[in-house]
Amino acid sequence: MFTKSDITRQSIIEKSAPIFNTKGYNATSMSDILQVTGLTKGGVYGNFSSKDEIAVEVFEYSIGKLKDALRFKVKKENTAKNKLFAILSFYRNYSIKPLTEGGCPLLNTAIEADDNLPFLKMKAQKALDELLGSLEYIIQKGIQTNEFKADLDAKKEATLIFSVIQGGLMMSKLSDDPKILNNLLEGLKNSIESQYLN
């Protein structure tokens, strides 16, 4: 059962998430958080010790939404190939229709936290490892069930797929052109069809 404090805390996280994901950590001020939550400083600091703590919780919340949505799409499919295709389909038009306001929380956080926010970089690294691990698991399962070729390097292929998705997403956002990402996703799909299957 949730306490009033739990509900307030979760509300702060959910309402702050779009600001952090759109403006970034450095550009998000406590005034922004107070404005969007409608709370006083005491109301926010009664639930969080600092902006850093809010940022970490916001990232966990946003990346959790992403992982849950991906898991939901993947679980509907029965074959490794279709699970990979479900992931590619999930990211189609993602640069203009992201799941979370402001775009991909992993990409946004990784770029901003790389050099000067070690506490957020650590969280982004963990999320990256989990997403790569899930991709690798799907490919490995495809190899084990003889759906995919035995000589595939599951770890290498998972890294390639995710790098192309994230790179395409960055390029599409920067260029305001969703076709860049979509064309890369189509290329990955063709590659899976032609190089993975037995």
* Low-confidence winner among 14-28, 80-94, 105-119, 148-162 (lowest mean pLDDT): 105-119
Residue 38 clears pLDDT 80, i.e. is over it:
yes
The CATH class, in words, for 59-196 is mainly alpha
Contact indicator for 138, 80 with CB cutoff of 8 Å: yes
Instruction: Provide mean pLDDT across the span 87-93.
Output: 97
Instruction: Provide mean pLDDT across the span 113-127.
Output: 91
pTM: 0.93
Q: Report pLDDT for 2.
A: 79
DSSP output for 154-165:
HHHHHHHHHHHH
Within 10 Å of residue 188's Cβ, how many Cβ atoms?
20
Q: Report pLDDT for 118.
A: 93
> How sure is the predictor about 114, in pLDDT bands with cuts at 50, 70 and 90?
confident
Q: Report pLDDT for 1.
A: 76
Contact indicator for 19, 36 with CB cutoff of 8 Å: yes
Instruction: Provide mean pLDDT across the span 100-125.
Output: 92
> How sure is the predictor about 197, in pLDDT bands with cuts at 50, 70 and 90?
very high
Instruction: Provide mean pLDDT across the span 111-132.
Output: 93
Give the separation between CA 148 and CA 154, rounded to whole angstroms.
10
Residue 115 clears pLDDT 90, i.e. is over it:
no
Give bridge partners of residue 197 from the DSSP assignment. 148
Contact indicator for 109, 123 with CB cutoff of 8 Å: yes
Q: Report pLDDT for 4.
A: 87
Give the separation between CA 156 and CA 38, rounded to whole angstroms.
47
Q: What's 197's DSSP letter?
A: B
Residues 6 or more apart from 131 whose CB is under 8 A from it?
67, 70, 106, 162
Residue 179 clears pLDDT 80, i.e. is over it:
yes
Residues 6 or more apart from 104 whose CB is under 8 A from it?
66, 94, 98, 166, 169
* Tens digit of each residue's pLDDT (9 = 90 or more) over 163-172: 999 999 999 9
Share of the chain above pLDDT 70, in %: 100
For the chain, give the mean pLDDT. Answer: 96
Within 10 Å of residue 168's Cβ, how many Cβ atoms?
23
